[in-house]
Copies of this chain bind each other. A is one copy, B any other.
Amino acid sequence: MREHYHEELDDVVDKLVSMTQIVSSMMERATTALLDGQLALAESVIAADDDVDDLNREIETLATDIIALQQPVAGDLRTCISCLRMATTVERAGDLARHVAKTARMRYPERAVPAELESVFREMGQVATKMMTEVGSILAARDVSRVQALELADDRMDDLHRQLFRALLADEWPHGIEAAVDVTLLSRFYERYADHCVSMARRTVYLVTGHRVDEEG
C-alpha cells in the first residue's frame, strides 16, 4: 500500500514536469510562429493548450484522490498541495503561450512585431522557454540550488520588457497604433510567463524544504 502510494505521488510530480515541458515547447513554437510568420506552428500551439488543460485536471484528480484515500501528512501533503497550485500556474503560462500564438495567427501573413524589435522578442522567447524547462528540471530533481539562476533570468526578462517600452515611448515610434498595441500585449505575455516560472520555482523550494518563499515576484 505505502509503496503504491509513493508511486502515485511520483506520478503527480511527473505529470507536472510533463506540463512544464509542453508549455516550454509551446512558448518556443509560439515565438517562432510570431517572428517567422508560421501559421501551422501557431495552430499547433493553440491546439496543445487543450493537452495542458487535460493534464491540469488529471493532476487535480490524482492529488485529491491521494489526499482522500492515503491521508498523507507533512512533506507528502505539502507535495500534493504544491502540485495543485503549480498545475494552475503552469496552465496559466500555457494560456500566455497560446495568446502569443493567437497574435501570430491574427496578423498572418503580416507580422505583429516590427523588424527592428524582432531580436528582443527572440531573446524573450529564448529566456521564457529556458526558464520553464529549468523549472521542470528543478522540480524533477528537487534541486533548489538552481532557483537563484532562474531569478536572474527573470531579471533579464524584465530588462527586455523595459527595453520594448522604451522603444514604444521613444519620440519616433513609426509603426502606428496597431503595432504598439501588439507589442504592448506581447511584451506583457512574455514577462508574465517568466513571473509564473519564478512563482513555480519558489513553490518548489517550499515543496522540498517546507520553508516558504514569497511566491509573488
| Residues of chain A having any CB pair with chain B under 8 Å | 53, 57, 60, 64, 67-68, 71, 73-74, 77-78, 81, 84-85, 88, 91, 95, 165, 168-169, 173, 177-178, 180-181, 184-185, 188, 212, 214, 216
Copies of this chain, count: 2
- Chain B residues with CB under 8 A of A88: 85, 88
In the complex, the answer to whether A168 meets B181 with C-beta atoms within 8 Å is yes
A sample of 7 more A-B contacts (CB under 8 A), given A168-B177, A168-B181, is A57-B212, A64-B78, A71-B71, A84-B85, A169-B181, A177-B180, A185-B185
In the complex, the answer to whether A216 meets B53 with C-beta atoms within 8 Å is yes
- Chain B residues with CB under 8 A of A169: 177-178, 181
Report which residue of A71, A181, A185 has the largest number of chain B beta carbons within 10 angstroms of its beta carbon.
A181
- Chain B residues with CB under 8 A of A165: 181
Q: How far is the CB of A102 from chain B (nearest CB, A)?
A: 14
- Chain B residues with CB under 8 A of A74: 68
